[in-house]
Structure 1
Amino acid sequence: MENDFPRNGSSEEKMTFLLNYAILAPSIYNTQPWRFNVSDGSIMVMADESRWLEAADGNKREMHISIGNALENLIIAADHFGYNHTISYVPGEESIIARVSLQPNAQAPMDPQLFSAITSLEKSSPSKTNEVLREQDSVPQTANQIDLANIESISTDQDIRVFLIDDPDIRSRFLNLTLNADQVLYSDIEFKSELGHWISRGAMGPTGVQAKIDQIKVAFLDSVPGQIEKDSEIINSSLYLGFITSQMNDPESQVRAGQLFERIRLLSSSANLSLQPMNQALQAVETESEVNGLLGEKSEALNSPFVQQIFCLDVVGPANELTPRRPLEEVLI
């Protein structure tokens, strides 16, 4: 795809090309709730409200984080292809989230490894589990070996912070909150119906008959035991829990938290680490407030009390199947 960049094309053609990287961003249940408009030397980043998950994301936090993921991919790609950028955040203005102004720049890209990670399909050998990988001397196992400072210092935004935690007490409390949230969410008919709808559309990977079968399983069968087992394994086996927090709990902060999350995800990928989002405890109203108290003095000391995104960080495990993406033409207006 990189070789298709229209170097002799118009400014609008070049900016439109950059969106090929924006739409590769992850999103809540792969809903891809974004739209874009290219005009007058800038790119408008907008929310596609038709893809908002009312049951799973009542306050639209994860919709805004998802759009922040796409925004970050966009500016990383812009940097790679020779543009400086200026972002103006305007959430709430007719579904407009941000305006990105681009100016040609002759300097070398600042983050080539992050750009490469956007399109990299290399994860790890599907034949190796995390347990096997941890036994190999070449695999990082401690904070010193992983160089967590690169991840924890990646944010230059004083209002958005990331904490990497290996404290057993916090892990245990977070596990209990997540399992409680699983019980609440996967017992909720509206949540299961909404999730099943997106599964049936092929958002999670499988399509056709298999997607319909998966929809029926989620909507009509008891998914709680299986989900609890899956999440327990991920949380207990991960090396670190990651918490992205903000000073304010507004749409702009959520978008900026999404940008930071995507940079961390790309940096982790380039360092052969696995990052798994784990936001169920934020999705369930019954557990959301308790999540914000998990970090205690750690976040209070930096005046960053609102948890926006949680993830598990681990050594690379089995390769994940890529989920489908909307065509670029579908998200352009």
Structure 2
Amino acid sequence: MTPRPGAECVRAAASKLGRHPQDHGWRELYRLLAHGLSRPDTPHLHDLAAAALAGRPTSSDTHLVTLLGIAVKSVDPAGFPRLVDDRPVEQRLATLEGLLSRHRRQIDQVLTRRQNSFTGARRFLVPQVLLAAYFARQEQPATFADLGTGLGVLPRQLNCKSLFDRYAPELTWPGGRPAYQPIPLAARYGVDRGPFPDQRWVQSCYGPSPFYAAQFRELTDALERPEVRAVEVGYHELDLTDRAALGVFLRGQGINAVNLSYTLYELDPASRAEVLDTLAGSLHPPGFVIVTEPNDGLARPGCTVSVRDHADPTLRRVCTVSDGHFTGVVRPLEWFDRFVARYPIRFERG
């Protein structure tokens, strides 16, 4: 017997994620999913993969795999360790099949209504630097929208000097450590597909590991800071694949700068292109876009940061970050020197 139709693309995505060199709590589950989808005696897993593909046609296979993992963890957190322990894989697959059978309705609800809403406390660091440098050379301030905002903390963190000073020393740029520079901001928005997540759901998106426990503490610390809580942000529930609704929002609010951090990888390639086309046709000048995407669709450590605007509508790769949690090293790519020449970044000395 061969795997059921539709399962192979999900299996391939799970297998790729299972080969990631870092493991912060998810890798063994991805390997289990890949193994289960390669054999015919896991009917509940196959049925679920097929239903996910049919119900989320604009989602990438990688996003579906991560969302399936989150769903399994969220419906039975106490049972999750039995899926990733050192028992033989056949026993763990039997445990998984039982879990999927018992909790199918709740898992279906997650797969159809939710996103992987992982929200990192340090994702604002690179947008802070790039937006500040770029808009220092513009005649108008930024009317900014964070697309795929998750918990919505990033637009609140912009221009928070205390958080920047806390985390910036742990992310080294080619010129050293960027000096804090405020962004001239006229308004801030956070946009995501509804329903907006709460902290409980976002915590479900974190891997079950000490590393992610520390990461979540960073997030809650950021959310509790008075200077972050006090920031006025307009939040809008909007499906980015709804081109008409996205265009109406961008034009209506006068958005002239957007950030997409770990957003486009969740979409299939055609939908990604449509989102970028909508931005090109709907953003007010100067139309500055920052796109941060995980390397190889989450299969390798780190991420790549690209930018574009109306003057140069081609998405240009500026840099990579060695760790997608925004620690480590920023390495320049082909557009870094040109960006810095046009929009100087000031670095700390000494």
Please report the TM-score for the alignment, with normalisation by the length of structure 2: 0.30
* Structure number with larger C-alpha Rg: 2
Q: TM-score, normalised to structure 1's length?
A: 0.32
Name the structure with the higher strand share. Answer: 1
Higher relative contact order (CA 8 A, sep 6+): 1
